[in-house]
Structures are given as C-alpha cells and as structure tokens.
Structure 1
Amino acid sequence: MAQLARIHEYQQKPEQGTRARKSIRTLIEQGMVFTLLVFFTLLFVSPLIWLLITALKPLADMAAFPIRWLPSQVQWQNFFYAVTYIDFWHYALNSLTLAVIQSSLITITSAMVGFGFARLRGFGKQKLLMVMLATTMLPGMVTIIPTYIIFSKLGMVDTYWPWVVWGLASSPFFSFMFRQFFSSIPGELEEAAIMDGCSYWRIFWQLFLPLSRPVLAIVIIFAFTGVWDDFLGPILFLNADNTTLAVAISNGYLDPQGHRADNVLAAGSLLYALPVLIIFLLTQRFLINNSASSGLKG
C-alpha cells in the first residue's frame, strides 16, 4: 500500500507543476494586459490633465521659458474669468438649442428611414440602401461649399434653419442602425398588428419605436455630442451673436494687451467639455451593453 501511495504521489507532482506554471503564466498575462490598459488610459487622459494644469496657471507662467510644467500659483479664478470674459451662458444656450433641435429631429427621421428599409417592401429598396450607405464615405468637406451656397440662396444663413433641415434629412449611419435593429424583430409581431387593423405608421410609432429604446438612446447621445462639438458649421452659417460656445471660446479670451489668454482659454475649454464628459461617464455602461445587443447583425 505504501508503494502504491508513493506511485500515486509521483504521478500527481507533474500535474501540480503544470497547474502552477499555468497559474504563473496567467498572472503574467493579466499583469501585461493591466499595464497596457493603464498606459493607454494615461495616454488618452493626458490632454485633459494638461488642460487642467494650464487652466490653473497664472498668466505669467504662460510666457515662462523654459516651460513650467506645474503652476507657480494655483489660479482657480481662471474659471470665473472663463464665464465672464465672454457671454458664456448665452453661447452655451445657443449650443444647447441647436443640439436639442437637431438630435431630436435626426433621431425620429432616422428611425423612420430605418423602419422603411427594414419592414416595407418596394422596388429598388436594396439599391437605395446601397446608395444611402455610399454617402457615408463622402467627406463632409466635399459638400460644405455647395451646402453653404444652397442655404445662402434660400436665406437660411445666420439662422438655425440649417440644423432643422439637417435633422429632417436623417443620417445614413443612424438610419442603418435602426434598420438593423428593426430587421431583428420577429415578423410575427408585425403580422399580428396588421391583422388587428394597425397601419404601418401605427406599427412604427406604437410598436417598433418603443422597442428600440437602446438604439434611441445611442443615437440621441451621439447626435447631441456631434452638434455640441461642431465648430465648422456654426462658424460658417451663424453670426457672432447667435453662434455656439465652441466658436465663442476659440476667439473670445484675450488679455488686456489683446493677446490670447491661454490659461483662461483652457479653463473655458474644460467647462465646454464638461457636459459631454458627464454624459459619457453616466452612460458608458449603457452604451456598451446596448450597442452589443441592439441588433447590429449583418
């Protein structure tokens, strides 16, 4: 019996050694992955950190040579100057108005287009879908001048009507997202609604749209941040009074000598980016979970 026990113990030792080596290898791999994640996180966050450091510097530090990496004296009042040097809240309201208008309209119209491509029948529907998707490969800079000429002839420059028109025109990418989601809904649900006497409009509005809440949330957030972050559109289509916060910040912070106050500019930029950062932090888990389960199948 003792000899059998020694044989059994001898056979178990290689297995234990293999498990130990696998455990060590797993720990090393996890450590490497964690190190890479920390590195890339610091890399992506470093612009915000540098922006915050700059926002806390006094104006004298901005012209110092060599560069002062840390402020010689913390100046929290730069954030007060950021909202007083320009009519900050007026321009913020302009940005919020444009973002709400276009994000609301583009979400509804994109959902309607996606529903049509997903559930309605028609001649050449697939070809129209290909044409719509092909427009996503066209850079916006190619169409900006023709768009400006059209809006200028229609008398829409210096007004908010271009954002209304863009919202009513829907978005090819958002429409495709809705199309993919609506295509994943079982056809029996639609057939049952038709047998109950529902029109396609009622099916879309009362049945399919409430089911698409995950995609609705994603589209609204992306559309809102897209308008909030836009710089080229407002600088081309709006005047100095009804322009957005992005344009106002870019050229509104000047020191008494007429030079740009980069420390106040950094403070204003942080305040400008704060709403988007808050939205992302509050909804990142929701976005990730729902983008993985929103029917984005081929």
Structure 2
Amino acid sequence: MILARRTSIYILLVGLVVLFVSPFGWLVLTAFKDTSELAAYPVHWLPREWQVGNFSKALNFIPYLAYAKNSLIIATIYSVLITLSSAWAGFGFARLNAPGKRFLFGLLLSTMMMPAMITLIPTYIIFAKIGVINTYWPWVLWGLAGAPYLIFLFRQFFANMPRELEEAAIIDGCGYGRIFWRIFLPQSWPVLATSMVLSFSWSWGDYIAPSLLLSTDRTTLAVAVATLYTNPANDTPINNVIAAGAVMFIIPILVLFLIIQKGFVTGVSTSGLK
C-alpha cells in the first residue's frame, strides 16, 4: 500500500516536471531548427539537421551583447537597491514599535493585490514630468522604494530573530542603524539571496517598462529579443533565431539560481508566518 502510494506520487511529480519543462525543451529544439522546418507538416519534434549557427546569427543580427550589458546594468542596480531598501523596511516593521504599525503593514500587503498595469500610465506621466525618460533613473527610484513582497519576507525573518541580540547591542551603545547593518542584515543571507534572485529576474525579464521608458539603443535585451529579429525583406519574425536568442537570454537567470539556490530555498522556507 505504501509502495503503491509512493509510486503514484513519483509518477505525478514526473508528469508535472515534464509539463513545466516541455515549453523550454520545445524552445531549445526550435533554436536548433532550420527555417524550413518551422512550418513543416507533420511537425518534426527533433531537428533534421542541428543548426548551431542560429546562435551566432542571434548574436550578430542585433547588437546582442550591448543589449545584454544594458539589461545587466539595470537588473543589478535594481536588485541591489530594492533588496537593501526592502530589508530596511522589513527591519522597521519587525523590530520597531510605533502607532499604526499593524495598519501600515496591512496596507502595504494590500498593495500586492493591485495589478501593475493600473499604475503604468501614472508612473510614466510622473517620470516624464521629472525628466527621467530614456534614462536608468526609474529603476533607481523603484529600487529605493522597496517591494511589498520582499518587505514581507524580511519582516517575517527579522521577527523570528531572538530579542536578546537586539537588547545586548543596545546595552553596548548601538543604535538601530548599527544593529541593522552589523547584526540583522548579515544574519539574513537566505532572504538576501531570495530577494536578489527574485528582483534580478523581475528586472531582467521585464518587457513593458523598458519598451515604454527607453529608446531602442538604450533598451534591454528582453525588448530586443522580442521585437528586433525580423526579416528586412518582409518584416516577418525569424522564429528560429528568436528562439536561439531567447535560450541565451534565459541562461543568466538559470546560472544565478543554480549558484544561490540553497539560500533561495532556505529564505523562502524560513520566512513563514510567526
């Protein structure tokens, strides 16, 4: 009975893995196909001849590395700033006492239910009025503002830390700023890793904000891969080259996750409700 139950669970898990991995697998296979195979019927699952040259075409058809540099700059600035600002806000909600703290924290969490599209046009108007369109300043401002979900993660983690650490630091003459930077922040590396992975992937994969706020030469790799691989003769997308560019676009996020996956999993599992 137990063996049958375990077998059924394993079969279910394998089926879910195949379901979630199959789109990426299809993308990889498309990246190695010739253009004539994309419209072939019946569908060929495997390429007849593996076209490794699609990857070099993806790199050379557009200034791929220049757009990748833009994405890396924006994602790094955004992820570092939003991690630090969210950690500071989470520390305040977890360890400081003030009137209305519970109400403000509930209000903060309620903003996670607001679709980002609602604030898109007002945000664009504000950035246009202060003159930061076609610059990277919007990502700096977004980073300094923090993110509700990340603030929640840090707040839950800091709330579970022993009160004795804080009291001992206060007796030694430390203020809350030094307590945060010297004691709490170094201890929160699992949540820091989680925040860095999530915020970096948010910014790296974002299409809407760069296409709205940046010109073509300053835009990110996500926008370039989605829009610039078109045939000059008839303005149609070159799908196999797009797939090759998309595969290379995904690799940095996978590498980042593999490097700090232990901290990512630990950060999510240890930031539960107290």
| Pairing 1:271-286 to 2, within 5 Å after superposition | 271-286=248-263
Aligned partner (choices 134, 152, 177) of residue 201 of structure 1: 177
Aligned to 2:16: 40
| Pairing 1:19-38 to 2, within 5 Å after superposition | 25-38=1-14
Amino acid in the other structure paired with 2:253:
V
Aligned to 1:127: 103
Asked if 1 retains the 8 angstrom alpha-carbon contact of 2:191 and 2:263, the reply is no
Cα deviation for residue 37 of structure 1 reads 1.2
Amino acid in the other structure paired with 1:117:
F
Cα deviation for residue 285 of structure 1 reads 3.6
Aligned to 1:192: 168
Cα deviation for residue 131 of structure 1 reads 1.2
Alignment deviations for residues 243-292 of structure 1 (CA, whole Å, 9 cap, x no partner) = 00000011111235232110000000000011112222333343223422
Unaligned runs of 5+ in 2: none
Segment drifting more, 25-34 vs 140-149:
25-34
In structure 1, how many angstroms separate the alpha carbons of the residues matched to 2:41 and 2:273?
A: 55
Asked if 1 retains the 8 angstrom alpha-carbon contact of 2:193 and 2:267, the reply is no
In structure 1, how many angstroms separate the alpha carbons of the residues matched to 2:183 and 2:45?
A: 57
In structure 1, how many angstroms separate the alpha carbons of the residues matched to 2:82 and 2:187?
A: 18
1:252 equivalenced with 2:228 (yes/no): yes
Aligned to 2:80: 104
Alignment deviations for residues 76-116 of structure 1 (CA, whole Å, 9 cap, x no partner) = 10000010001000000000000000100001111111111
Aligned to 1:6: none
Cα deviation for residue 188 of structure 1 reads 1.7
Q: How large is the RMSD of aligned CA atoms in angstroms? A: 1.3
Aligned partner (choices 258, 265, 268) of residue 288 of structure 1: 265
1:85 equivalenced with 2:61 (yes/no): yes
1:54 equivalenced with 2:24 (yes/no): no
Aligned partner (choices 236, 239, 250) of residue 212 of structure 2: 236
In structure 2, how many angstroms separate the alpha carbons of the residues matched to 1:256 and 1:65?
A: 26
In structure 1, how many angstroms separate the alpha carbons of the residues matched to 2:267 and 2:207?
A: 29
In structure 2, how many angstroms separate the alpha carbons of the residues matched to 1:213 and 1:256?
A: 49
In structure 1, how many angstroms separate the alpha carbons of the residues matched to 2:257 and 2:65?
A: 22
Segment drifting more, 157-166 vs 249-258:
249-258
Aligned to 2:145: 169
Please give the TM-score of this superposition, normalised by the length of structure 1.
0.88
1:267 equivalenced with 2:244 (yes/no): yes
In structure 1, how many angstroms separate the alpha carbons of the residues matched to 2:127 and 2:262?
A: 39
Paired residue total:
273
In structure 1, how many angstroms separate the alpha carbons of the residues matched to 2:232 and 2:84?
A: 48
Cα deviation for residue 31 of structure 1 reads 1.2
Amino acid in the other structure paired with 2:24:
L
- Percent identity reads 48
Please give the TM-score of this superposition, normalised by the length of structure 2.
0.96
In structure 2, how many angstroms separate the alpha carbons of the residues matched to 1:271 and 1:209?
A: 34
Alignment deviations for residues 17-58 of structure 1 (CA, whole Å, 9 cap, x no partner) = xxxxxxxx1221111111111111111111111111111111
